[in-house]
Amino acid sequence: MVRRMISAALAATLLSAPVQAQDVGEIVGGIARQYLEQEQDRAAFSQAQQTNTLSAYQSYLRQFPKGAYAEQARERVRRLGGTVSTPNTQAGAASLTADQRVAVQRRLNALGYSTNGLDGNFGPGTRRAISLWQRDRNYPQTGALTRAQATEILQGRAPAAGGSSSNAGAGSGGSAAQAEAVLNLSREQRRAVQAGLTRRGFDTRGVDGSFGRGTRNAIAAWQQANDLTATGYLTANQFERLTSR
């Protein structure tokens, strides 16, 4: 369905104005990101509806303050007795340069949190990635970075195996995270790692290609069981071991 919508939008764009061949890739990428963000918006609101709690609708609004269903979510918040507020999702990173914003997005993607682009624009995709990153480190899920959180991401500090952030051992954790980032694992490769851990009895809380807290804990537990340093991050050799049958 999405593919047909993208094809139709692309055809309309190409017919409306002549474009150079090298521009087609950018057009396709932009259209794909747009539909992906719309789908994430829809899925997030659907999840909020299923939960139907004040906190669920507030969480949706933090991620999609200008989403297609934002007004409906605000109305539900009011009916449930909550206060409607629209946070400035750029506030926490207001002091970041454009290059630093791109670097934050690149680091989030390397850690398994897709931002749907590396353009320095903290749109819905990046806000959702930030929110998931915050969740896995027991921070409030605001979808907006504080300066300290932006620094944590840019410096590559890793959370402790239990999932919370810690200054102790941050240097070694950061090195492990950076070493894994160099592997540039695709979503399919991440799924293969999660499947390998699951087969070995280490629960990753899902095989979705996203290395959240469940997967990090599973990696650390597997490393410890194999007399390896329990960083929660993979080396190239460990990736090969987990994905081999």
Domain ranges of the chain: 2-79, 89-155, 158-245
Average pLDDT over residues 171-186: 74
CA distance 161 to 215: 10
pLDDT for residue 193: 94
- Report pLDDT digits (tens) over 34-89: 777 788 888 888 888 988 888 788 778 877 788 889 889 888 888 877 766 544 44
- Report pLDDT digits (tens) over 26-49: 555 566 667 777 888 888 888 889
CA distance 3 to 14: 16
The pTM of the full predicted model, rounded to 2 decimals, is: 0.40
Let me know: does 129 contact 108? Beta carbons within 8 Å.
yes
- Report pLDDT digits (tens) over 204-236: 988 998 898 889 999 988 988 888 888 899 998
Average pLDDT over residues 18-33: 57
Average pLDDT over residues 130-155: 84
Q: pLDDT class for 194, splitting at 50, 70, 90?
A: very high
16/118: higher pLDDT: 118
| Mean per-residue pLDDT over the chain, rounded | 76
pLDDT for residue 168: 35
Q: Nearest Cα to 30, choosing from 119, 100, 105?
A: 119
pLDDT for residue 11: 56
Whole-Å CA distances, 101 to 42, 61, 93, 112, 201? 26, 22, 8, 17, 38
Cα dihedral: 68, 71, 74, 75 (round 10) = -130
pLDDT for residue 1: 53
